[in-house]
Amino acid sequence: MPRIPAAAREQARRRLLEAGAEHIARDGLERASVDAIAIAAGYAKGTFYNYFESKEQLFGEVIAEGARRAVAHYARAGERGTTRQRLLALAAADVRVLQEEEAFTQVVIREAMAFRAETYPLIVGRLEPFLGKIVAVLKAGRAAGEVRRGLPAERQALLFVGMLALMYIQYWGNGGAWPDLDDVPRLVVGMFLDGQGAGGGGGGRRR
Amino acid sequence: MPRIPAAAREQARRRLLEAGAEHIARDGLERASVDAIAIAAGYAKGTFYNYFESKEQLFGEVIAEGARRAVAHYARAGERGTTRQRLLALAAADVRVLQEEEAFTQVVIREAMAFRAETYPLIVGRLEPFLGKIVAVLKAGRAAGEVRRGLPAERQALLFVGMLALMYIQYWGNGGAWPDLDDVPRLVVGMFLDGQGAGGGGGGRRR
Amino acid sequence: MPRIPAAAREQARRRLLEAGAEHIARDGLERASVDAIAIAAGYAKGTFYNYFESKEQLFGEVIAEGARRAVAHYARAGERGTTRQRLLALAAADVRVLQEEEAFTQVVIREAMAFRAETYPLIVGRLEPFLGKIVAVLKAGRAAGEVRRGLPAERQALLFVGMLALMYIQYWGNGGAWPDLDDVPRLVVGMFLDGQGAGGGGGGRRR
Amino acid sequence: MPRIPAAAREQARRRLLEAGAEHIARDGLERASVDAIAIAAGYAKGTFYNYFESKEQLFGEVIAEGARRAVAHYARAGERGTTRQRLLALAAADVRVLQEEEAFTQVVIREAMAFRAETYPLIVGRLEPFLGKIVAVLKAGRAAGEVRRGLPAERQALLFVGMLALMYIQYWGNGGAWPDLDDVPRLVVGMFLDGQGAGGGGGGRRR
DNA sequence: CATGAATGAGAATTCATTCAT
DNA sequence: AATGAATGAATTCTCATTCAT
């Protein structure tokens, strides 16, 4: 097994994946063209098929890769502190993923929101590691009396990531005008734990 | 000028609109084919173009019609009671729209979540009447000390509908397994006002 | 036979014919649409087919009508004087036709110039009456020694109308800038009889 | 990058261009179908679009190519002799173009005669080189007293090519029966310089 | 491996023509 | 007679995928 070729091969694949993510994020799966992706990656059309079986397979890989990259960020977050602090850390990690891998994140979120029976479980599956972390934090929080028990922790975790996604959608939808990405963790965690009713804890002070 | 045609014409248009909503909801705008829509409506391909200028125009009309039908439901909701009660009524109205016009609602939500710069403002515009109602309730709630003031009421309203959409997405995404649509108003309003932290009211009173 | 209906019918037909000539002149046979023609004539699409079997048939009728109207003008021209004078009168009659029936004339000339084996004989046939007049003049001219005998008079006549058409084409082709239509008879007859060589008469001074 | 392809590609393009010229010459731009052209060239429909952006672009290229091929023939004609001899040589060169590139020539002439504001200047532009040659000959002829000065030389040149076109149209219109193409230069130059009046060399009675 | 020419299924759209009212 | 809704054949153009070099 030649060592360099394997690396070279991996690099070509990576470039195609990145280009694919960008095009699919910008144009959607249908409109993104294999030709344009290959060229953006610096290859000719035919080369694409040396690395991916089809456009759909690329799409799956983009989602997988997006999830993989996210997990790397989550790994070091949410370990310590109160439930609120740990959730803030997880949300901040997610925002960092968005900032560093915007195209991949957009593809994942857009597809998640398309709630197509074919891809929805796939995506939930991919998000599993992140969700798992959140669930762990929430369960600890429930044990500590910091989190309500009305819903299963797994549902709560889905709501949490859903609220993150809502923020991103707003952010993308109005061209970055609101919210400031740095505010997102505080906003989401505040919303998630306290709600907008007047009863709860201290909503959103400082940042 | 024929005598019945005005009505007949309207009915044909309606059938195409319904079929269009269903196909676009199921397949997305790109994948939905004019041919299939026309046939599903009981017409030949060419007939479609006697009623709509293009697939894109149909899409716009589907969204407009979806918004129109929704508004009719909202009209009678949210008039009286505490903020919580009024929000429950508004959410219930939205759920009723979903139940009665599932395809139209799916198209609107899916497109809203696709956050495409071209359609996002359009959709927000269409939702204006509903948002307006929510904003009014929230402002009254803020005046009564029942709603927090950390965010502008308009942002809060967007979060509220966003959370409704999240529920629908879950609902569609796992084939109707959860949540039960009848629970959605309570879930969303509870989440929106109280959050999942342990501080607030008693989370889930059953129904 | 009801008298008025017959007249009404004739009038409807006439309006469709005029509208047809204009649209075909402007857009060409392919691009001209039956729908647009009918509407321009003040009728609905279907009515067109009460008067013409098809768009192609309309086209034939437009050509026939164009020729018919032209003949009416020629009828009174070219009767007397020298060959040159008589040709001038015929050319002037032709120019008058152009001015009064521009759409019909354009259709006829454009189609003649498309030299399609299917329509070319048809058109030549339609032009027969005009050509006949010219041939008569030319034959008299040949007898009088005013016209050369190198070619059959029929060929000469075709050249003569061809040269008229060339002038019209220039006229239409550059938006009416040149030649002035009033100059056309003098230009064409001068060209036809004298050529541009230096031998002959004095080309073209004033008019 | 393949080794031969440059040549192969050029050849494919050429075949499509030829087929396009033939179909457009026979059927006109509207009626000619991309599908039929591709098949006539020995390719599948889609291949056409690897070489041309649209049918309209092909059309433009056919005209350009027609002009290009013509210019090559003109290059060596009309250099020496009397005005009559030089015009004969130019006309002969044009006839040779017609014979060798009949389809291209037909397209150019048909389109020129359709006097459409969009293409007319284009075509006149393409003919520029040929017209320039004629103008040069005519100007020399005027200086030598062999050509009349009634019209600008540029107009005279247009008349000259117009008369050539008239001959071709007759030729095509009646299936090649008349005139014999070899006679065309003599016919056209005779007509152009001397006209059909009886004066011949010197016989022009003025008016 | 890379390339890019060739392919052909598919999609949108147009429009002449028919025909029931 | 007039109407205009319905039709479907035809056309242009796109693009994922294959494959010979």
Q: How high is the pLDDT of residue B164?
A: 95
Task: Indicate the pTM of the whole model.
Answer: 0.87
- pLDDT per residue over D86-116, tens digit each? 999 999 999 999 999 999 999 988 887 776 7
Distance CA D89, CA D189 (A): 10
> In terms of Cα–Cα distance, which of B68, B46, B50 is closest to B12?
B50
3 state SS of D188: helix
pLDDT at residue A2 greater than cutoff 60: no
| More confident site: D207 or B52 | B52
Q: What is the mean pLDDT of each run of 10 residues along chain D (207 residues)?
A: 69 96 93 97 96 94 86 78 94 93 90 73 77 93 95 94 94 89 97 87 40
Q: How high is the pLDDT of residue D77?
A: 76
> In terms of Cα–Cα distance, which of B95, B101, B116 is closest to B171?
B95
Q: How high is the pLDDT of residue A207?
A: 37
Q: How high is the pLDDT of residue C2?
A: 52
- pLDDT per residue over C27-59, tens digit each? 999 999 999 999 999 999 999 999 999 999 999
| More confident site: D91 or B67 | D91
**Are the beta carbons of A137 and A78 closer than 8 angstroms?**
yes
Contact (CB<8Å) A197/B158: no
| A120 Cβ under 8 Å from any chain B Cβ | yes
C57 CA to E16 C1' distance (Å) = 13
Q: Do chains B and A touch (3 or more CB pairs under 8 A)?
A: yes
Residue D82 CB in 7 A reach of strand F: no
C-alpha D91 chain-centroid distance: 11
Residue C55: nearest nucleotide (C-alpha to C1'): E16
Q: How high is the pLDDT of residue A108?
A: 87
**What is the number of other CB atoms lying within 10 angstroms of the CB of residue C84?**
23
Distance CA C201, CA D194 (A): 11
B198: tokens are 């342990």
Q: How high is the pLDDT of residue D78?
A: 65
Burial class (CB in 10 A: 0-12, 13-18, 19+), A207: exposed
Chain E nucleotides close to protein (CB under 7 A) are 1-21
Percent of chain B clearing pLDDT 70 (strictly above): 91
D42: tokens are 């020995």
Say which residues have a Cβ less than 8 Å from residue D91's Cβ, sequence separation at least 6.
Answer: D164, D184, D185, D188, D189
Chain B residues with beta carbon closer than 8 angstroms to that of A31: 30
Q: Which of C31, C114, C148 sits opposite D197 (nearest CB)?
A: C148
User: What would you report as the CA-atom Rg of chain C, rounded to the nearest whole angstrom?
Assistant: 19
User: What would you report as the CA-atom Rg of chain B, rounded to the nearest whole angstrom?
Assistant: 19
**What is the number of other CB atoms lying within 10 angstroms of the CB of residue D39?**
15
Distance CA C32, CA C131 (A): 30
Give the residue on A whose Cα is nearest the Cα of B179.
A155
Q: How confident is the model at residue A119 (pLDDT cuts 50, 70, 90)?
A: confident
Chain A residues with beta carbon closer than 8 angstroms to that of B165: 166
Q: What is the mean pLDDT of residues B185-192?
A: 97
Q: How high is the pLDDT of residue D5?
A: 67
Q: How high is the pLDDT of residue A113?
A: 78
Percent of chain C clearing pLDDT 70 (strictly above): 93
Distance CA C49, CA C32 (A): 15
Residue C10 CB in 7 A reach of strand F: no
Contact (CB<8Å) D156/C196: yes
Cα angle value B160/B161/B162 (rounded, 5°): 90
For residue D119, which amino acid is it? T
Mean pLDDT estimate for chain D = 88
A119: tokens are 């891809």
- pLDDT per residue over B134-154, tens digit each? 999 999 999 999 999 999 999
Q: How high is the pLDDT of residue C45?
A: 95
Q: How far is D35 from chain C (nearest CA, A)?
A: 18
- B135 — phi, psi (to 5°)? -55, -45
Local structure of residue B200 (DSSP, 8 states): S
Q: What is the mean pLDDT of residues B98-116?
A: 86
Q: Which residue is nearest to nucleotide F6 (CA to C1')?
A: B47
**Plot region of B82 (φ>0 → left; ψ -120 to 50 → alpha; else → beta):** beta
Alpha helices in C32-144 (DSSP H): 34-40, 45-51, 55-74, 83-100, 102-113, 120-143
Distance CA A24, CA A17 (A): 10
The secondary structure of D39-80 as a DSSP string is HHTTS-HHHHHHH-S-HHHHHHHHHHHHHHHHHHHHTTSS-S
Residue B5 CB in 7 A reach of strand F: yes
pLDDT at residue C122 greater than cutoff 90: no
| More confident site: A166 or D113 | A166
Per-residue exposure over D89-98, b if at least 16 CB sit within 10 Å of its own CB, e if not: bbbbbbbbbb
Q: What is the mean pLDDT of residues C85-103?
A: 93
**Are the beta carbons of B21 and B103 closer than 8 angstroms?**
yes
Burial class (CB in 10 A: 0-12, 13-18, 19+), C140: middle
> In terms of Cα–Cα distance, which of D201, D197, D181, D203 is closest to D92?
D181
C132: tokens are 């006949």
Distance CA D201, CA D196 (A): 11
Distance CA A151, CA B194 (A): 13
Q: How high is the pLDDT of residue B3?
A: 54
Torsion angle (degrees, nearest 10) of CA C125, C129, D113, C98:
-140
Burial class (CB in 10 A: 0-12, 13-18, 19+), C146: buried
Residue A28 CB in 7 A reach of strand F: no
Contact (CB<8Å) D31/C30: yes
Which chains lie within 8 Å of chain A at 3 or more CB pairs, if any?
A: B
| More confident site: A141 or A3 | A141
Chain C residues with beta carbon closer than 8 angstroms to that of D177: none
Q: How high is the pLDDT of residue B205?
A: 40
Distance CA C91, CA C174 (A): 21
Mean pLDDT estimate for chain A = 87
Q: How far is CA A103 from CA A8, A49, A67, D30, D62, in A?
A: 23, 22, 12, 44, 44
Distance CA C30, CA C48 (A): 17
For residue D49, which amino acid is it? Y
Q: How confident is the model at residue B206 (pLDDT cuts 50, 70, 90)?
A: very low
Distance CA A54, CA A20 (A): 12
For residue C11, which amino acid is it? Q
Q: How high is the pLDDT of residue B44?
A: 97
Q: Which of residues 18-47 of C touch strand E (CB under 7 A)?
A: 31-35, 45-46
Mean pLDDT estimate for chain C = 88
C55 CA to E21 C1' distance (Å) = 25
Distance CA D45, CA D42 (A): 10
Q: What is the mean pLDDT of residues B62-89?
A: 85
Q: How high is the pLDDT of residue C162?
A: 94
| More confident site: B114 or C83 | C83
Q: Which of residues 7-46 of D touch C (CB under 8 A)?
A: 28, 30-31
Chain B residues with beta carbon closer than 8 angstroms to that of A194: 148, 194-195, 197, 199-200
**Are the beta carbons of D75 and D40 closer than 8 angstroms?**
no
Alpha helices in A43-101 (DSSP H): 45-51, 55-74, 83-100
**Are the beta carbons of D41 and D31 closer than 8 angstroms?**
no
pLDDT at residue B170 greater than cutoff 70: yes
Contact (CB<8Å) A190/B28: no
Cα angle value A10/A111/A107 (rounded, 5°): 40
